[in-house]
Amino acid sequence: AQSVAQPEDQVNVAEGNPLTVKCTYSVSGNPYLFWYVQYPNRGLQFLLKYITGDNLVKGSYGFEAEFNKSQTSFHLKKPSALVSDSALYFCAVRDQTGANNLFFGTGTRLTVIP
Amino acid sequence: DADVTQTPRNRITKTGKRIMLECSQTKGHDRMYWYRQDPGLGLRLIYYSFDVKDINKGEISDGYSVSRQAQAKFSLSLESAIPNQTALYFCATSDSGQGNSPLHFGNGTRLTVT
């Protein structure tokens, strides 16, 4: 069975500091991994994905994520946080067989403090 | 994402009423999905459709039905609304592929059942 854990409901970081939003996953076989961001009163927006290859994936708005197979993690990172990064972030996973649909984590609310 | 349009944006209805949420897309994608979002639970898949003649149940389909009227239109119905169906509902699309295509979300419908 697929599952995604986002262990932190809330992450606070000062503007200009690096940020990390954590995600661990469980899937049979190799995963496709995604990060989405949700701003107030909006739908989710795709940030980046991991399919295969380089473990460091770069995405929109300066975000990147590091795939770690041994730790089954896919943490979202940004070197320098902006106040405008404050939003709800979702990690999602599906197995590469295509037999299952995308499975979302419960979300992490990021607040960047000016 | 303006390419995926959901109507209405907000709806308040009474217990026992039938209600329909509509979704249309101009992205030309074959695949369409309905999710519900609840605080602390993330997004859960209700129904999905890979083409006009294909309808599949997701993890929480009880109490819901869908209709894929055309490639661009996918509606969600609550046959007899109940209060625990109060939630934020999202329609999403993706193109056919290897399972690594990202989802494109509408801005959501906030449904309140009293």
What's at B106, amino acid-wise? G
Query: CB atoms < 10 A from the CB of A64, how many?
Result: 16
- pLDDT (mean) for B24-52: 93
pLDDT at B32: 95
Asked if the model's pLDDT at residue B105 lies above 70, the reply is yes
SS (H, E, C) B64-88: EEEEEEECCEEEEEECCCCHHHCEE
H-state helical runs in chain B: none
pLDDT at A41: 84
- pLDDT (mean) for B52-71: 94
Strand partners, B73: B24, B70
Distance between CA A26 and CA A100 in Å, rounded?
A: 13
Q: In terms of C-beta density within 10 A (0-12 exposed, 13-18 middle, 19 or more buried), how is residue A72 classed?
A: middle
Distance between CA A5 and CA B66 in Å, rounded?
A: 29
pLDDT at A95: 79
| Of A3, A47, A52, the residue nearest A30 (C-alpha) | A52
Retrieve residue B23's tokens.
């979704």
Q: Which of B4, B41, B107 sits opposite A41 (nearest CB)?
A: B107
**Cβ B40–A101 below 8 Å, yes or no?**
no
Query: CB atoms < 10 A from the CB of A12, how many?
Result: 12
**Cβ B103–A96 below 8 Å, yes or no?**
no
Q: Which residues of B touch A51 (CB under 8 A)?
A: 100
pLDDT tens across the length of chain A (114 residues): 788 999 999 999 999 999 999 999 998 888 999 999 999 888 999 999 999 889 999 999 999 999 999 999 999 999 999 999 999 999 999 877 766 688 999 999 999 999
Q: Which of A44, A51, A101 sits opposite B105 (nearest CB)?
A: A44
Distance between CA A59 and CA A35 in Å, rounded?
A: 9
**Cβ A96–B42 below 8 Å, yes or no?**
no
H-state helical runs in A48-91: none
pLDDT at A12: 98
Q: To probe the interface with B, which of A27, A67, A102, A109 has the most B CB atoms within 10 Å?
A: A102
Percent of chain B clearing pLDDT 90 (strictly above): 85
pLDDT at A98: 66
